[in-house]
Amino acid sequence: MHEYEDITSMDNRAVELLTLLRLQGAQTRASIAESTGWARPTVNKHLERLVDVGLAVPSHIANPTGGRPAQGFEFNPNAACILSLDIATAHTTLALCNLAGDVLSSQKIPYGAEQDPNTVLTTQCQTADTLLADTGHGTLCAVSIAVTTRVEEPTGQIIEAPVMRRWEHRDLPGFFKSRYHVPAFIENDANIRALYKARRLAGPKERQITDLIYIHAGMGLGAGIISCGTVLHGARGGAGDIGHIHVFGEAGKNNPCRCGNTGCVEASAGGWAIIQNLKDSERDVDTLIDVISLVRQRDVEAIRQIRQAGRLIGDVVSAAINLLNPSHVVIGGELSQCGELFMSGIRERIWGRTQPLATKNLHIDACPDDSHAGVVGLAYAAADKVLQDTSFVNGAFLGSVLDAAGTAQD
């Protein structure tokens, strides 16, 4: 029993030290002892272990008084790499990222959720193998996957997914884990982008924004919620499914939705519904690019549709703001490219329908996605998991890989 306790305590301390280096930057032995309250031999033992497995490296810390730089240690984000796969409807973006989320190499392939899963997975693996064959990116330590639907917690399965029907009950983490022999994680794509925005929009003195709602306004509508600093999944992974909230009192309250219900906000304000409405008005549109182009040409019906979509999305976001009190609402997805025509409807409803305490200092911004948002957010999520895993941090995985590499070089 005593032995068990000692081992657990040692493991936790290594994670604690690594977390300190990740969040606070380079530290001297003295500053580590001060922050943790550990005796100097304990500091030395855990630092040595982190250096041995490559997760910490020596560094020089500038002396603010201008004297000799102090000898310290910092987190080494290049100790290992993460394979990210952001599976969208019609394409997949794959990337190798380091443990800080920096993209080392990436490739986009025209295979996504709407195609046959076997074909898509085969092509994804071929592309991943090509990326991994390029040495110099460090050892692969995790695979991180995003999909365009909610993922059941804690099984990681895709269930009840109208937009990924052919992928239902596929165990994607299990597939990638058995292929690459590393931990694999799966997450909803809006959650991943919420995490990305929360880190990238944070001020210089904070690690991330702790309370943020990200709305993906594309063909469908979805939300990712960061609450009290963590991604909010709910009891079974269904949190954030904002597209299927019913909108009351609007012309579209009886519109049929692709989920089987009527009156969902997505059935009036989602990209697919806007395209259908414009077709019904005899406009020549097939994609959201066509819609955005019509709006830019000042087509009256397209503008009316976009303004109406903004107001309806504003209604459901207002409810979410009253419920969750975020400091930031970030609107991404293709529809955010319609700019103020779209955003003004969202703002109008939020200011009119939320309480003053919730809107004090509230930021509401359009933030069209950059192409690497998904894969970087995936790397953040996977790094947070593996770097808080005691066996990983103590080298159970990295140590064995390093030993194997050493043997191969001999």
Q: Which is nearer to Zn ion, 86 or 315 (CB)?
A: 315
Contact stretch for Zn ion (CB under 5 A) within 109-117, 178-186, 223-231, 255-263: 255-263
Q: Which is nearer to Zn ion, 96 or 273 (CB)?
A: 273
- Please, which of residues 223-252 interact with Zn ion by CB under 5 A? 244
Which amino acid appears at position 258 of this protein? Answer: R
- Residue 219: how many other CB atoms lie within 10 Å: 22
Closest contact distance (angstroms) between CB of 237 and Zn ion is 17
Sheet containing strand 328-332, edge to edge, reads 230-231, 221-227, 212-217, 328-332, 363-366
* DSSP, residue by residue, 225-262: EEETTEE---SSS-TT-GGGSBPPSSTTTT-B-TTS-B
Closest contact distance (angstroms) between CB of 168 and Zn ion is 17
Q: Which is nearer to Zn ion, 162 or 229 (CB)?
A: 162
Q: Which is nearer to Zn ion, 80 or 269 (CB)?
A: 269
Closest contact distance (angstroms) between CB of 261 and Zn ion is 5
Which amino acid appears at position 338 of this protein? Answer: C
Closest contact distance (angstroms) between CB of 223 and Zn ion is 14
85 touches Zn ion (CB under 5 A):
no
Q: Which is nearer to Zn ion, 50 or 161 (CB)?
A: 161
- Under rule CB under 5 A, how many of the chain's residues touch Zn ion? 5
Helix (H) or strand (E) holding 385: helix 373-386
Residues 254 and 251: their CA atoms lie apart, in Å, by 8
Contact stretch for Zn ion (CB under 5 A) within 167-175, 259-267, 270-278, 316-324: 259-267
Q: Which is nearer to Zn ion, 273 or 373 (CB)?
A: 273
CA 354 vs CA 42, 47, 168, 241, 348: distances in Å:
52, 50, 37, 20, 11
- Please, which of residues 203-222 interact with Zn ion by CB under 5 A? none
- Please, which of residues 139-198 interact with Zn ion by CB under 5 A? none
Contact stretch for Zn ion (CB under 5 A) within 106-114, 157-165, 257-265, 292-300: 257-265
Closest contact distance (angstroms) between CB of 242 and Zn ion is 10
Give the phi and the psi of residue 407 in degrees, each rounded to 5: -65, -40
Q: Which is nearer to Zn ion, 264 or 381 (CB)?
A: 264
Question: Nearest CA to 379 among 175, 195, 138, 173?
Answer: 195
Q: Which is nearer to Zn ion, 254 or 371 (CB)?
A: 254
Measured distance between the N- and C-terminal CA atoms of the chain, rounded to whole angstroms: 40
List the one residue from 201, 259, 358, 362 that touches Zn ion (CB under 5 A): 259
Closest contact distance (angstroms) between CB of 163 and Zn ion is 11
| Residue 404 token pair | 């194997």
What are 146's strand-pairing partners? 86, 187
List the one residue from 15, 257, 269, 379 that touches Zn ion (CB under 5 A): 257
| Residue 321 token pair | 């703001």
Report the SS3 class of residue 61.
strand
What are 96's strand-pairing partners? 83, 105
List the one residue from 158, 264, 313, 335 that touches Zn ion (CB under 5 A): 264
Helix (H) or strand (E) holding 93: strand 92-98
Which residues in this chain contact Zn ion in the complex, by CB under 5 A?
244, 257, 259, 261, 264
